[in-house]
Every structure is written in structure tokens, then in C-alpha cells.
A and B are shown apart, each in its own frame.
Chain A
Amino acid sequence: MGQKEKSAHVVTSAKKEHDKHESEHHELGFVRKYIFSQDHKVIGIQYGITSLLFLLFGFSLMMIMRWQLAYPGQEFPWKWLADFMGQANMPGGIMLPEFYNQLGAMHGTIMVFLGVVPLAVGAFGNYVVPLQIGTIDMAFPKLNMTSYWVYFLGGVTMLVSFAMPGGAANSGWTSYAPLSVIATTGQTVWLIGMVFLITSSLLGSINFIVTIIQLRVKGLTFMRLPFFVWAQFVTSFLLLLAFPPLEAAGVLQLMDRLAGTSFFLPSGLVVSGQPLAVSGGGSPLLWQHLFWFLAHPEVYVLILPAMGIVAEIIANNTRKPLWGYKSLVYSAIFLGFMSFIVWAHHMFLTGMGTTISTFFQTTTMIISIPSVIILTALLLSLWGGSIRFTTPMLFALAFLPMFAIGGLTGLPLGLAPPDIHLHDTYYVIGHFHYVVAPGTIFALFAGIYFWYPKVTGRKMNELLGKIHFWTSLVFINGVFMPMFIQGLAGVSRRLYDGGAQYAHAQGVLQWNEFMSTSAWLLGLAQIPFVINFFWSIRKGKKVEANHWDATTLDWACTTSPPLAHGNFKVVPEVHRGPYDYSHQGAQSDFLPQNQPGEA
């Protein structure tokens, strides 16, 4: 015991700093404890609540768009909602194309930058990583708090942009120049919002990297880290290295819009019949390169934490170690590295020659290999298990085939010739939504059901959870599967009427109504989750600290660890790998990482 307490004070100076703070935290007022908190768990919860609200908001934008796609030009059925969106956007309840484009751009932006990433990294990363590595907080608690509040500002900025003259940004989440440069004021606000969000991510990522390198508890070597921590570690490097080019690009575009520069504007532009009064000489493709230099790694920022969550839950619910832990780790690192050199596969059709396209096609095929290895390892981990079909496990299991569809449909898009037919069609939308929605978001749901008892000390209701799972699984496929059919038929994405004008779309138009109905039902299917989420805070079944009989350190601390940096009653010491389940000759079917001895 004395030994352990001593070890806590030797680790690093950063940690000592925290310990000193701990005694002061007893007098913290409400504001410092719950609002401007520096505790990683409070910040994690703040990130979680905020990003879930943004996910709901972003999804609502899509549910409104899907009305227009299913019934182009027809009056919106809920008058109060049409009125709320304003006469400028929906005169007489009929959506204008300008508004449709705003909804599309903001759906993408909000889901990616305000919903999924903050939930995966800000919420799960913040809450779970310090617990899993046995420390009392992140390395830089003040930076952590700043990161959340800068993210919050970014979110508010994005919301405010809807009130600008001409509405919110309407040039897609990709904001391709010159369209974005000549767009309405909403785009300026969008760029300012992005600068906030990127800054927040940078602050967060540096914090995770330092925390994971410096604050691991004694005995927790890199190869004993839970895969979730590895996933967050690689993700942080992606955020740290990929976001700065976009931040720079965002500022350059802001200059193009406000200061009369022409970074992304070539000479000789004629807009609406008038020569554009700019100096010119810039390149629209430069924006695309800078944007995708971030946005491709961003895909792995979305997917890696999801894989981490799924790995934790599969190990726990199969009651056996992950199959091929090392290959999982090396694949994640390799994936992170490769993700920096595949970006131009989004740009095959910009006039790319053989040499460059060969390079990017090759790197794209190479990056598929570690993804296949990770998916294979997770699938093989099931073999020989004693599988418990809990709600988190159902979501984690569904992640595997759903992510597989997303990954496999990336193949024809990653090779340039098939991309001629499929580029910018609904096939692309189907592809990346399978990765992000029934892929990542399902994994995030799994994580919420899994760690909810740790955060609240209570368990979410299993029946409501299962209703949520099965209905979501059915309807989400109803939304996205027909997109492949439409895409193969050649229907372009981002069409205000869903392709109604085009002869080649006529044979697949009838799917629009089906997809929209599925999307609305998917919305209804989230109601059991929302009820469950709030009901369980007070009424959920009380559970023990290690409710799932799990091995990692997050389950070694108390139930609902006390706020203000006090995670562990006794600083743990790690003696074994992360998933020592069903150890031969052991009394229980799990051996926590901090349990000494062979068995």
C-alpha cells in the first residue's frame, strides 16, 4: 500500500501539480466545478452533452431536407416549422434551393465537426483515456477546459450563421472555392467558426498526446494500453498534423472574401455576366488540396476512436482477449501514417494525369489493407468467446458489417476509372455514411451504453436499448442502402429535387420517398434512447464500480468517480495486458490490469 502511494508521487511533475490542486478543489463553487471545470470527467460530459445535441440538430436538418427530396416543391406539412425557418427560406412552406444548400452544407459541417468528432474524441477521449491509463487528469487541465469552450464558441458561431443575411454557409461542407468565395455572408461566419473548431481540436490533441506519453501509471507500457487509448493516441496525431493546413486555408479563404486577395481565385472570372473585380492569379485547386489534406485524415479521426470503442466492448463481451492485439496497434499506426498521403483520391476528376493518379490510387489501395486487418482482427476476436448480447455489444457487433459495407464501397471510388462513373453521385454519399453513421455513430452509441454506468453509477435500461438498436439498424439501412442504387444509376449528389429533372434518374427516383421515410422513422427510433438516457440518470438500476466485469483501469476506479481530479482511491499499478479474460486457472473469468501476480 505504502509502496503504491509513493509511486504516485514520483511519476511526473505534471502529476504532482494536480495533486497539489486536489486539496484546493474542495472549496470549488458551482461555476468552477460544473461550468468552467478543469476536471477531465466534467469536460468529457460537457463535450458529450453538447455534441449529442449537435448530432440531433444536424440530423434534424437532414430530416427537413429529406422532405424536399421525397416530395420536391411540395408544401412542408408542419406549418409552424416552415414558419420558424422563415419566409426567406421556405416561402409558403416550400423550400428554396438556396435553403436546401444551406441545410446540406450545415448538416455535413455540424455532423462532422460539432457532432461526431467532439463526441468520439472530446467526450469519450476525455472521460475514458485518463481513467484507462490510471491517472488523475489530463496533462493540461486548463488547456482542456479552453479546448471545450473554444469548441462551444465554434458551435455557437455556426448556429448564429443561420441568422446572417442570405442564411448560413451554402457551399457544401467542402466549401470549394470559388463558389464559397462568392457566397453570401454565412460563409464568412462558417470560416470563423471553423477557425474556432480547429483551434479547439489542436488544443485537445496536444493534450492527449502529452497525457498518454507522460501520465501512464506504473507498469502500463505502451503494449499494455487498451486499444481504445491507442486509437485516441493515433487520432490525436492526425488532428495535430492535419488540421493546421486547413486552419491556414480557412484564413486564406477569409482573406479572399474580406481583404480582396485571390489565393483561390484564378484570373478571368465572370460571375452572373460581370467580370469579377479581383486580382486573380490564384488556384481553386489549392483549396481542394488543403481541404482534403485535412479531410481525409479526418475520416480516420472519425473511425479510429469508433474502432477503439468497439474493441473494448468486444473483448469485454466475448470474455476473451482481442485477437491480434499487436496487429491492431500496428495497423492503427500505419493507418494514421497512410491517411496523410491519400487525400487526392477525392480529386481524380480535377484533370489529374497518369503519374499523380497512379500514386494516389496506389496509396489508397495500400490504406485499405490495415483497415481490413483491423476488421479481421475484430471479427476473429469473436471466435471462441462466450458472447453476451448486451446493448453495447449489439451496437458494437453491428458496427462490423456496417463499417465493412462502408469500407468495401470505398474500393470502386478509390480507383480512378470506376470513379468516373461514381464520383459525386449518391454512391459516394452511401459509402461515407455507412462508414460514419451505422459505422462510427453506432460505435458511439455502444460506448454510451457501455460507459454510462461508469459516469452515472446506473445502468441504462436494456429493453429500451434493444428497441433503440433494432429499429435504428433497420431504418438506417433503409436510408443509406438505396443510395448505392441511385449512385450506380448515375444520379448526382446535392440536387435540390433529388434528380427529378434527369432522364437517367427516373428509374430510381421512387427510392427517394423510401429513404426519406426511413430517415424520419430513424428519427423516431432515437426516442427510446433519449428517454432511456434521461430516465436512467435517476431511475436506472444502480450498479457496482465494475459492472461489466472488465479488466481495464477505467473499471478499477470507483463508480462515478468523484469530480475534481480524484479518480482512484489508490493509485493503481499495472501488472498485465489490457484484456486478460478467461485466464487459464484463474478463479474469475477476468483479471483486472492492476491485479498483481500471474493469476
Chain B
Amino acid sequence: MREILGLPMDVSTHGPVIDNMIVIIHWLMLVLFVGWGIYFLYTLFRFRKKRNPKANPEGVKNHFSTYVEIGVAVFEGFLLVGLAIPVWSNVVTDFPSGKDVVNVRVVAEQFAWNIHYPGADGVFGRRDIHLVTSENPLGLDRTDPAAKDDITTINVLHLPINKPVLIQLSSKDVIHSFGIPLLRVKQDAIPGHNVPIKFIATTTSADISKQLDRVYRIAPGHIPVQLTNLSAKAEYVDKDGNSILAVGETITRDAIDAALSAGITEIRAGSDNPVEIACAQLCGLGHYRMRGAVTLETEAEFNAWLAEEASYLDY
């Protein structure tokens, strides 16, 4: 059922239980819909006027439908008490703290995600809305000692796997929604509110990328729409040995045409950034492009990245 539903890959520790609920509920839907559907079609056939010219006003006498209704109610009760309430409680309470936790602030704005790491001291620096400029979208006060080592990025979120992550989410202007479909994370970013989000990622972006690569068939007049948004995952050359697409190269319409004329019929392609922050709440004209790239990596890679970012700071 999970495959039929087409849920995206799931790379968080809390995600599978959410997926399971989605799957269970869709089984319930399917059983009810098919069950009632069979009854419905059979009834329409059996009691059509031609076959049954005189109606029987008594109708159904048995209590089968009542049992079905009670069954549905009991099942919903189980979903509610057995799954929904405890799972939700687990998602929104007991936020991690301590040295082992990766703390990040995310401040949404039209139309970007400002990412804020506290740096080596583990303390977020002071922010002031009057210091906001295009170079300093967070309004971070670099004169504050706690702010000196803070690392900020735009639309680039690096996180280590297998470590608890605690994100403090807020917004500068309007309501956005911080969604990472592959992590089963989604939370509205509301100005004036600071909402915590916790999760643990389980797979690096590189591994995810490998698993999500696909072979796309191409033919003249039949080019999958999505192909031009992906990058090549294998090397393609024409008859003379000239490169059409290198590994990791963004696929363009020209490259596809060149591949077609070289007689290539399939292209292995995938996304370089399979884990994305997708804004889920209408936030203005740029809502559709309010996309952030998440890089899930090993702790060593993450620390190396932090060190590199810190090296650009001039304190």
C-alpha cells in the first residue's frame, strides 16, 4: 500500500509511524469504499425499475449497517487513542536539550529561509529588526559577543544524521510553512511566534540521491517534463565521443536534443538536492519558489562544513 500511495522516501526516525497511519487509514478507506461500492452497484442493478417494477417500502430490515457504523466508530477510536494522540504528543513535547543537540534557528521571510547556527559557543546572538539589511537579513547584532561566531545562511540547511535536531521556527513578515517532505516535517512559521521542531534524520543526502536516481526514457516528441529539472547521473557521449552530459550536470533541453540525435533513448537522472524545504503556506507571489536545500550528512561532514563556514567569519 505504501508503494501504491506513492509516499516519498522517509528519512526521519518519527516518519515511519506517520506513514503507517496514512497507510492504515487508506486501507480503511479502501475497505469501506469497495464494500459500499459493491453494495451500491449491486443494488442499482438488482432494483432497477425494469427488474423490480414495484418497490418494497419496508426496505432493509437487518442491522448490518449499524454494525458497520459501530465498526467504523470503534476503528476511528483506535486510530485516535491508540495512534494519533500519542504520536502527536511525541512530536510536540519533550524537546531535546543538552550538548548533543543540534540547535538551529530558521526565520522565514518573503521568499527565503534564513538559517541561523549559534556557532562554537552554542549561544544565539542578539537580533534587532532595525539592523536588518539585505546583507544581514536576520538583523544579527555582530557586536554582541554571543553573535560573533554565529553562522547564517540563506536557503542552505546542513544537518547531521543520527543526531537530535532542534529547530526554532519563526517568520519576519507573513505566515510561511516549513515543510521537508522527506523528513515528514511541517510546521507553520508564524510571525510573533517561536515554535520548536524536533527530529532525527537517518540517511545522508548522498545516499538518498543514489536511491532516487531513475532512468527516464526519451523519444522525439516524448520528453518527460521533469527531466529538465534534474541532473544527469551517468555520463553520455555522442558518436564522436564528445560529452553531451557529464555526471552531475544539469540536464537542459539542448542536451536532451543532442542525446536524441545521438540515438540515446534513456537518461539516468536524479536530483542533486533531493531533500528540500518547501513552503507549504501561501506567502505571496514568490511562494512557489520559496525552496530551501537541505543537506543531510554525517557528523564529520557536518562539522567540517560548520568549520568552513566559520572560517569566513572575520572575528
Contact = CB atoms under 8 A, between A and B. Distances in A.
Given A354-B88, A361-B80, A385-B55, A97 B47 contact: no
Interface string B31-60: 011001101100110011100111111111
Interface residues of A, number: 106
B282 A384 contact: no
Interface in A396-448: 397, 400-401, 404-405, 408-409, 411-412, 415-418, 420-425
Given A404-B36, A425-B280, A384 B130 contact: no
B132 A506 contact: no
Contacts of B258: none
A508 B51 CA distance: 45
A423 B184 CA distance: 11
Contacts of B181: 421, 489-490, 504
Nearest to B280: A424
Contact of B132 (A273, A385, A415): A273
B289 interface: yes
Contact of A496 (B8, B192, B195, B287): B287
A550 B29 CA distance: 35
B182 to A, nearest CB: 7
- For the residues of B in contact with A, the DSSP-based class is mixed
Contacts of B288: 97, 494-497, 499, 501
A582 B229 contact: no
B73 interface: yes
A493 B186 CA distance: 14
Interface string B267-289: 00001011010111111111111
Contact of A411 (B29, B83, B274): B29
B123 interface: no
A33 to B, nearest CB: 41
B172 interface: yes
Contact of B22 (A320, A353, A421, A510): A421
B26 A387 contact: no
Given A101-B282, A412-B26, A589-B54, A503 B273 contact: yes
Contacts of B154: none
Contacts of B25: 411-412, 415, 418
Given A349-B187, A351-B188, A415 B79 contact: yes
B167 interface: no
A510 B33 contact: no
A104 B187 CA distance: 23
Interface stretch (A206-214, A230-238, A375-383): A375-383
B242 interface: no
A122 interface: no
Given A275-B130, A488-B5, A182 B282 contact: no
A383 B39 CA distance: 9
B7 A488 contact: yes
Nearest to B176: A179
Contacts of A171: 282
B224 A420 contact: no
Contacts of A583: 57
B26 A383 contact: no
Given A101-B282, A273-B137, A380 B60 contact: yes
Contacts of B21: 412, 415, 417-418
B6 interface: yes
A271 interface: yes
Interface of B: 5-8, 17-19, 21-22, 25-26, 28-29, 32-33, 36-37, 39-40, 43-44, 47-49, 52-60, 65, 68-69, 72-73, 76-77, 79-80, 83-85, 87-89, 91-93, 109-110, 129-130, 132-134, 137, 139, 172-175, 177, 179, 181-182, 184-188, 190-193, 195, 212, 224-226, 229-230, 271, 273-274, 276, 278-289, 291
Given A351-B190, A417-B21, 14 more contacts: A98-B285, A320-B59, A321-B59, A323-B60, A389-B49, A404-B36, A412-B22, A417-B18, A417-B83, A421-B7, A421-B181, A423-B280, A493-B282, A582-B55
13 contacts: A182-B173, A357-B92, A361-B85, A362-B80, A383-B59, A387-B49, A389-B48, A401-B37, A417-B83, A488-B7, A492-B280, A507-B6, A509-B225
**10 nearest A-B residue pairs (beta carbon):** A266-B192, A490-B181, A503-B271, A506-B226, A424-B280, A351-B195, A384-B56, A319-B55, A179-B174, A496-B288
Interface of A: 96-98, 101, 104, 170-172, 176, 178-179, 182, 266-276, 283-285, 318-321, 323, 349-354, 357-358, 361-362, 365, 368-369, 372-373, 376, 379-389, 397, 400-401, 404-405, 408-409, 411-412, 415-418, 420-425, 485, 488-490, 492-497, 499-510, 512-513, 581-584, 589
